[in-house]
Structure 1
Amino acid sequence: MTDVDLRKLRYFVAVAEELHFGRAAERLHIAQPVLSRQIRALEHELGAQLFARTKRSTELTPAGRQLLDDARPLLNSAEALRRRVAQTARGPKTFTIGFMPGITLTAAVRAFEALRPDITVEILRTTTLDQAQVLYDGRADVSVVRLPIDQRGLSIRPLFEEPRLAMLPADHRLADKPSLDITDLADEHLLQHPDQVPEWRDVSLELRSGRSRPVPELNSVEEKLEHVAGGRGISILPRSVASFYQRPDVNAVPVNDIAPNKVCLAWLASRRSRAIQDFAALAGTVDWTPTR
């Protein structure tokens, strides 16, 4: 039985994500011929062709797509193991809590430090893109997340819910309304994935017409609000986030018929850490009411 080389898996994932050997080689800082040889060696070890290559394109084969699905969590687990071992070797135990914008950790951190004075607490600000990823790759022990997320392999504990508001340019025709219905926003361009706001997706004239514009990859609240202020679209944000990131050129307007944002504590279901169990139990007793 052949052991799979993690380095070759990393090379494979880079090519699978870029679908271009040259760009993948640049990303990995290796020569393209070296990368090609490593991929051929991996295909030989697995007994399967992973890429279908022509002069014009590189595509994943069915076997390649299966390997990509399996390789990502395996590499994440390996990275998480490396981080935890290195952290333990450095000395005093640390416990890292990820959190999304608008969420206040102070009460939970103070309560946990009182319960576990042997542990040093660190915090890590996350985004929509990595709020669960920080658990898989070991950057955080627990993460306070905003749903929806992919919950596979995670334990989830609900903490609280809060209303969501429409973020509109200050000169928008609806910006001074006391509140809105989701149908009022049917012809607006949403600056986030429609699955994050299913109520808008159900009424959107943009989606129904089949002329939906691409959504830019916005990694932070600040980027979203810059696009909103520039008149490039609207965004739906939790009330605590809208309150924290106030600016004069963007108005936050309540939406009557939109589901609240659900905030939960998440951690890897496979972890058997006593510290995680202690924090999860404590989290249910803390007042998580967002700061207004």
Structure 2
Amino acid sequence: MDVDLRKLRYFVAVAEHLHFGRAAAALHIAQPVLSRQIRALEHELKSQLFDRTKRATALTRAGEQLLVDARPLLAGADALQRRVQRAARGPDHFTVGFMPGLIVTPATRVLAARHPDLTVDVLRTGWDDQTEVVLDGRVDVSYVRLPVDQQGLQIRPLLSEPRVAALPLDHPLAAKDGISISDLAHEHLLQNPDAVPEWRDIAVELRNGTGEPPRPIRTVEEKLEHVAAGHGLVVLPLSTATFYTRPDVTWVPIDDIGPNRVCLAWDDARTDPLIHEFVEIATAQAEQLSAPA
């Protein structure tokens, strides 16, 4: 029997969350699709992997064993993919990932000027794939916004910036000069709660179990469409909020939570001198921007 790596990834997601809804949200697929894939995997392996009740999901003994074996298998497959993709790009290509609201052109231009035969590309990332593109080889180095899983990565801090709540214009808090995170306790968040742990810790809908897991929304543009329609709010770094200005959405500073931290991330197994050269270029530019006038 050939093991389907995609089904294994789905299984690991459910095993880690022990909740089909949250796992489906993390995978950006519909929950019924995920359930069908898990049932198909159980049929192929001729083993029940989860005990499911209305209250809880738990691994069976077979599921526990599969989880132990699946993680190194998936890691090996990911490593193979990274090596192949890097080889396909060749040594004369260098790709930089960046999150919305961040401008990377000054650093990429310096690198390109120093190496005229080098093709320097950029790739826009999102909250859910900003480290994945580093680990799967799509980019050589990436501007990421914390928090991220730093396993397998080298991280270099660059800068920090305030976080704001994006709200529809008619929201009761829209006219405020500043708010606290507790003001948002009764609001619905239109993004992964792990991206805003301060909200997650005080959210009424999570504490009471009355909220549904957020529907996967990949882009800032789509999030802001939902904000404008009154479906909820998002918490954004200031640069992202100002970059995506629109007339039917406003933003208000959140005064009592920490800033968003921007870092450079790259695969800690790589020793490419170009990566370290770019990191030094970007770091120097960030220091110049933050230096007192």
TM-score (norm 1): 0.80
What is aligned with 2:76?
74
The gaps in structure 2 that reach 5 residues or longer are 14-33, 53-58
Q: How far has the Cα of 1:253 moved from its partner?
A: 0.8
Q: Distance in 2 between matches of 1:150 and 1:99?
A: 17
Read off the aligned partner of 1:10 and give its amino acid letter: L
**Is 1:147 the equivalent of 2:143?**
no
Partner of 2:179: 180
Aligned partners of 1:9 and 1:71 also within 8 Å? no
Question: Distance between the aligned counterparts of 1:202 and 1:103, measured in 2?
Answer: 28
Question: Any idea what SS the aligned residue of 1:85 has?
Answer: helix
- The answer to whether residue 15 in structure 2 is matched with residue 13 in structure 1 is no
* Runs of 4+ with deviation above 6 angstroms: 22-25
Q: How does 1:193-232 map to 2 (within 5 A)?
A: 193-232=192-231
Shift of 1:184: 1.5
User: 1:264-279, aligned counterparts within 5 Å?
Assistant: 264-279=263-278
CA distance in 2, matches of 1:231, 1:170: 9
What is the aligned partner in structure 2 of residue 29 from structure 1? none
Amino acid at match of 1:161: S
Structure 1: unaligned runs, 5 residues or longer: 26-34, 41-48
The equivalent residue for 1:52 is 48
Distance (whole Å) between structure 2 residues aligned to residue 62 and residue 99 of structure 1:
37
In structure 2, how many angstroms separate the alpha carbons of the residues matched to 1:241 and 1:153?
27
Output the CA distance in 1 between the equivalents of 2:164 and 2:193: 15
Percent sequence identity over aligned pairs: 44
* 2:48 counterpart letter in structure 1: A
2:178 and 2:254 in contact (8 A); partners too: yes
Larger Rg: 1
Q: 3-state DSSP class of the match of 2:263?
A: strand
Cross-structure match for 1:45: none
Q: Could you tell me which amino acid in structure 2 is paired with residue 246 of structure 1?
A: T
Aligned partners of 1:237 and 1:205: how far apart in 2?
Answer: 20
Distance across 2 between alignment mates of 1:244 and 1:262: 17
- Report Cα offsets for 1:177-210 as digits up to 9, x if no partner: 1111112112111112222222222332223323
| CA separation of 1:53 and 1:147: change in aligned 2, threshold 3 A | closer
How many residue pairs were aligned? 261
Higher mean Cα deviation, 213-222 or 60-69? Answer: 60-69
CA contact (8 A) 2:49 2:63 kept: no
CA distance in 2, matches of 1:184, 1:12: 41
Aligned to 2:284: 285
Structure 2 CA distance, aligned partners of 1:22 and 1:284?
A: 45
Aligned counterparts of 2:258 and 2:236: Cα–Cα separation in 1: 12
2: CA distance, partners of 1:70 / 1:121 = 33
| Secondary structure of the corresponding residue to residue 173 of structure 1 | coil
| TM-score, normalising length: structure 2 | 0.80
Aligned ranges for residues 255-270 of structure 1 at < 5 Å? Answer: 255-270=254-269
Counterpart amino acid of residue 72 in structure 2:
D
Kindly indicate whether the alpha-carbon contact (under 8 Å) linking 2:126 and 2:219 is maintained by their aligned counterparts in 1. Answer: yes
Question: Alpha-carbon deviations, 1:201-236, whole Å to 9, x = none?
Answer: 233222332323321111110111111111111110
User: How far apart, CA to CA, are the structure 2 residues paired with 1:285 and 1:116?
Assistant: 18
Across the aligned residues of Structure 1 and Structure 2, the Cα RMSD in angstroms comes to: 2.9
